[in-house]
Chains A and B, each alone.
Chain A
Amino acid sequence: MYKEIWALIKKDLQLEWRSGQAWSSSILYVFTTAFVVYITFINIPANLWNPLFWIIILFTAVNSVSGSFSSENGSLRLYYYTLMDPVKLMVSKTIYNVLVVTFLSFLCFAGFAFITGNPVRHLGNFLLVLLAAGVGLSITLTFTAAIAAGVKRKTSLLTILSFPLLIPTILVVLKLSADAIGLINDSTNNQDLITLFALDILLLGLGILLFPFLWKD
């Protein structure tokens, strides 16, 4: 089971690595957005830095996940369908997207902090929040990308479908990162983290449960 999932993740990574185009476009997307935000705001106070940063992350995540099911279309999809278990495919896609989104958000943090200055006080906590956010965003986005896969004008539909679903995650993450930056002093951090992970597990479970129905048509 793990072998198959790992093989699928490796396949995706290799495909991306060989084409190179997707990586470079995602990375460029992050830096361009960060720079445009910097150009428009110039001086960014910490209480503005926090939401701006997460909006960039949100769009980066949507942008990078939106294509995750587009390679499996037509005859290739049929080939996969005869070959493997949809649950494994779903899990592998989710893990792959977690890797990509987390990598991009670390990169985004580095880039944004480089240009605008780094307001983060508790770096360890902030990186933990980045990781948790990467997991949360990827789970929901992977599932909605699977839903939107068969539709024309996929990206706009993905935005409509996923943004409302992502708001609980974003709200909790915003609060946690505000605490890491030192804007607020919150003692209920653990409770928020538990809420976030409970939400993630709920969404992941539903995704795994429901994906087979999407897959076989």
Chain B
Amino acid sequence: MNIKKHWWKLLGVVIVGYTLVAGLIVPLKPGVIGVSHKNANAGDSLRMEVVGYNTHFEKGKEDLKLWLKGDTTFFIKGQDVAIFDDNTLEVTFVIPAMLPFDQSVVELSLLIQNGIDGPFILPSAIFVTHSPDSVRVHTDEWVEKIDLEIGSSVMAFPFRNILKETIRNTYFHVPLWFTMIFILLGSVFNAIKYLRTGITIYDEKSSAYATIGLLFGILGLLTGAVWAKNTWGAYWSFDIKQNMTAIALLIYFAYFVLRGSLEESAQKGKVSAVYNIFAFATLIPLLYIIPRLTDSLHPGSGGNPAFGGEDLDNTMRMVFYPAIIGWTLLAYWMGNLLYRWQTVKNKILFQ
């Protein structure tokens, strides 16, 4: 065995191993899970409990500061901070009777900063009701000069509300889909080659890759369903992408039914190659065009690219892109193994 020819298999295993370890072990950045109050009125003095995640309230208490933030110039500073442990504290915010905003309900975010964690924010932490008809004076009273420090630069994944730890599924769910598309592309490529040349090898390869593609599709669906249960509340929520995916899988199941119902090998190869190409061509609008025309719970609906700058930060990219490459290499390897196993089986059968 010439090891130089098989380096990519090793690479695939190493990369997938790396993404498993890094994807599961690297901690999340500090964030706020919740606060005890969701609503308040202007003029209230609010004693609020703050629950953090991966935070260091106790360790970084010397320079711990809290604000309620309206826009870039409106800040209310937190007073009388009582720290219970690294993840819980109580703080008082004195909300002024007049707020410099036009809306009657003002959305304020909670901004926390200390030397260890750096700044982090809970968007829309509290809704303050006030009467905007009173004279709005935009005075310097609200302006607090705050300078945000950079926290200690440990490698960490971003903390997002709702997602929390499930953000790690980005390294499994999404790359599995990418891999499915790549391996199905390989299957179609071989189907085209078979139609052009008529050599049986290509048909067998095409079918093996389609099997592996279907396997990865099912895995992508399952990881997505688990993720959906934790974030959207149900395994299946009539999301357009979920439905289209189910249809795409049905199309490929039909491919195998078609193969099963044809007996003569040349006809089987030809017909299934034709259907394979046709199926892949409809798969693209199913997965990538139609979901963008309607609303979806998935990111990337409404014509946006699936990954904006908001969804994937640099730390995540360091795991996400290798994961795609690693899984694709593994899938290719699996496809080739399946193809070889089937060839050997046919040889024994027809001896």
Contact = CB atoms under 8 A, between A and B. Distances in A.
A128 interface: no
Interface string B279-296: 101100110011001000
Given A199-B285, A210-B278, A217 B290 contact: no
Nearest to A152: B261
Closest 3 CB pairs of A and B: A164-B250, A164-B251, A210-B274
Given A157-B261, A191-B293, A164 B271 contact: no
Interface string A24-53: 000000000000000000000000000000
Given A157-B258, A217-B267, A192 B293 contact: yes
A91 B306 CA distance: 38
Contacts of B10: none
The contact size tier of chain A is 20 to 34
A160 interface: yes
A182 to B, nearest CB: 20
B295 to A, nearest CB: 12
Interface string B113-139: 000000000000000000000000000
Interface string B228-268: 00000000000000000001101100100110011000110
Interface in A124-166: 143, 147-148, 150-153, 157, 160-161, 163-165
A179 to B, nearest CB: 14
B76 interface: no
Nearest to A149: B271
B239 to A, nearest CB: 14
A117 interface: no
Contacts of B277: 206, 210
B185 interface: no
B293 A150 contact: no
Interface residues of B, number: 27
B253 to A, nearest CB: 8
Given A164-B250, A191-B293, A213 B273 contact: yes
Contacts of B248: 164
Contact of A171 (B250, B262, B290): B290
Chain B CB within 10 Å, residue with most, of A143, A150, A167, A202: A167
Give chain B's interface secondary structure class.
helix
Contacts, number: 71
Given A152-B261, A157-B258, A164-B247, A147 B274 contact: yes
Nearest to B280: A206
A159 B248 CA distance: 15
Nearest to B196: A213
A177 to B, nearest CB: 16
B270 interface: yes
B270 A213 contact: yes
Interface string A173-212: 0000000000000001001100100010011001100100
Contact of A168 (B195, B278, B282): B282
B142 interface: no
Q: Which of B275, B278, B290 has the most CB of A within 10 A?
A: B278
A5 to B, nearest CB: 22
A192 B290 CA distance: 10
Given A168-B290, A202-B281, A217-B266, A160 B274 contact: no
Interface string B137-169: 000000000000000000000000000000000
Given A195-B290, A210-B195, A214-B271, 19 more contacts: A143-B278, A147-B275, A148-B258, A157-B261, A160-B254, A161-B275, A164-B250, A164-B254, A165-B282, A168-B282, A168-B286, A168-B290, A191-B293, A195-B289, A195-B293, A202-B285, A203-B282, A213-B270, A217-B267
21 contacts: A143-B278, A147-B278, A151-B262, A157-B258, A161-B254, A161-B258, A161-B275, A164-B247, A164-B248, A164-B251, A165-B251, A168-B286, A195-B290, A202-B281, A203-B281, A206-B278, A210-B195, A213-B270, A214-B271, A214-B274, A217-B266
Nearest to A209: B277
Contacts of B282: 165, 168, 203
A213 B274 contact: yes
A161 B278 CA distance: 11
Nearest to B286: A168
B255 to A, nearest CB: 9
Interface string B307-318: 000000000000
Contacts of B270: 213-214, 217
Q: Of A151, A188, A210, which is in contact with the most chain B CB atoms at under 10 Å from its CB?
A: A210
A128 B248 CA distance: 28
B168 to A, nearest CB: 32
A146 to B, nearest CB: 9
A150 B258 CA distance: 11
B294 to A, nearest CB: 9
Contacts of B286: 167-168
A151 B267 CA distance: 10
